[in-house]
Structure 1
Amino acid sequence: MKVGPLIVAGYDCEIFEAGPGRVVRRSRDGRSLEREAAVMRHARRHGFPAPEIFDADGPDILMERVAGPTLLEEAARVPGRAAEHGGLLAGLLRELSAVRSPGWLQAAAGRPGNRLLHLDLHPGNVLVTGDGPRVVDWANAARGAPGADAACTWLILATATVTDPSLREERRDLVAAFLDGIDPVAARPHLRAAAERRCAERDLPAGEKDEIDRFLSRETGEASM
């Protein structure tokens, strides 16, 4: 696809200008993003706030340009709203749990289920817009039980490396509000699988694996990974 100037370069993908209200998301390693585009189309057709997809071709997705900060950036800009943000994340997962997965989507590890899972729904992947939140980065999407999605978000919120001191102070309120909005009993059996996925990420910050080990021990009583 023809693209304009680079907007942002991430570890996995780059985002380019592509005309008014549009961007191209391009994988840096050349892998196809057509499955990811199909997942976002499916989620959006079922009323979930994913960006609109206009086209997909191999490593490129032509998609809606979503204007707004991430929830993480908004939390740093306007502190003191941790409970609101935790509730928002829980609400998004409840909404997504109502969406049946397309039959062709691979199953997530762990307990079976037929719901659409994002499996990376955290404050950095939620954009705050004037029309409400938009959830981006569906690379990990799979089919399974909603508890698996809640476990993934719970793990990230509780263990992700946070460099901003003000955000570290608000983490407890954020996690507490999130847990108030989900079913922790249903999520807890999926925590180990979520931890294994998280620890397999190539760009996991140093020290976060130790946080994950402590979290698993505290929440599940299991031995460290």
Structure 2
Amino acid sequence: MKVGPLIVAGYDCEIFEAGPGRVVRRSRDGRSLEREAAVMRHARRHDFPTPEIYDADGPDILMERVAGPSLFEETLRVPERAAEHGALLAGLLRRLSAVRAPGWLQAAPGRPGNRLLHLDLHPGNVLLTGDGPRVVDWANAARGAPGADTACTWLILATATVAEPSLGGKRPDLLAAFLDGVDPAAARPHLRAAAERRCGERDLPAGERDEIDRFLAREAGEESEESA
């Protein structure tokens, strides 16, 4: 695809200008993004908020340009809204849990299910627009039980390395509001698989791996107390 100037580059993909209201998302290693585009089209057909897809060809996706800050950026800007943003994340996962996955989508490890899973739905992958949120970066999408998606987001909110002072001490509010809007009991059996997937990411800070270990130990202890 013909592209214009580079807008932003990540370790996995680059985003280029592609005409009015459009961008091209291009994989840096040349891997095909056609499956990711098909997942986004499927989610959008089922009224889940993703950018519109216009075309996909090998490593390129031609898609709607979404204008607005990420939920993470907005939480850093206005920490007082952290609880509201946690509730927004929970609401997005509830909406996604109603979407059946296409039969061709690979199954997520762990307990079986037939729902569409994002498996990376954190504040950095939610863009806030004038028309509401848009969920981006569907590279990890799979088919499975909704609790797996909840576990992934829960783990990230609880353990991700962030500039804590920038959140004004509101991180617990974000996490508590999220957990109030989901089913933690359904997510707990998926936490270890979520942790293994998260620890497999090549850019994960070592300190976050330690925090994940502490988090799993705490949750295992709480689960034991509840079942006693």
- Pairs within 5 Å for 1:149-164: 149-164=149-164
1:171 deviates by 1.0
The answer for the alignment partner of 1:140 in structure 2 is: 140
Between the two proteins, what is the percent identity of the paired residues? 88
Unaligned runs of 5+ in 1: none
Q: Is the 8 A contact 1:162 1:168 kept in 2?
A: no
Distance across 2 between alignment mates of 1:33 and 1:95: 24
How far apart are the structure 1 equivalents of 2:220 and 2:148?
Answer: 15
2 CA distance for matches of 1:190 and 1:51? 28
**In 2, Cα distance between the equivalents of 1:71 and 1:140?**
19
Post-superposition offset of 1:170: 1.2
Identify the residue that residue 131 of structure 1 maps to in structure 2. 131
TM-score by length of 1: 0.97
- Distance between the aligned counterparts of 2:148 and 2:8, measured in 1? 30
Q: How many residues align?
A: 222
The TM-score, its normalising length taken from structure 2, stands at 0.96
Deviates further, 94-103 or 198-207: 198-207
In structure 1, the residue matched to 2:90 is 90
Displacement after TM superposition at 1:108 (Å): 0.3
Q: 2:225 aligns to what? A: none
Question: What does the per-residue CA deviation read over 1:104-135, in whole Å, with 9 as the maximum and x for residues that have no partner?
Answer: 00000000000000000000000000000000
Tell me the residue number matched to 2:201. 201
Segment of structure 1 superposing worse, 146-155 or 200-209? 200-209
Root-mean-square deviation (CA), in Å?
A: 1.0
SS of equivalent to 1:81:
helix
Distance 2:204 2:114 in 1: 29
Confirm or deny: 8 A CA contact 2:117 2:142 kept in the other structure: yes
Between 1:196-205 and 1:160-169, the stretch displaced more is: 160-169
Q: In 2, are the aligned partners of 1:6 and 1:17 still within 8 Å (CA)?
A: yes
Corresponding letter in the other structure for 2:205: P
Structure 1 residues 163, 101: closer, same or farther in 2, change over 3 A? Answer: same
Q: Is the 8 A contact 1:83 1:173 kept in 2?
A: yes
Alignment partners' CA distance in 2, 1:135 and 1:31: 21
Deviations 1:17-40 (A, max 9, x none): 000000000000000000000000
Unpaired runs of at least 5, structure 2? 223-228
Where does structure 1 differ by over 6 angstroms across 4 or more consecutive aligned residues? none
Contact residue 79 and residue 168 of structure 2 kept, 8 A: no
Aligned to 1:113: 113
Q: In 1, are the aligned partners of 2:7 and 2:16 still within 8 Å (CA)?
A: yes
Secondary structure at the counterpart of residue 75 of structure 2: helix
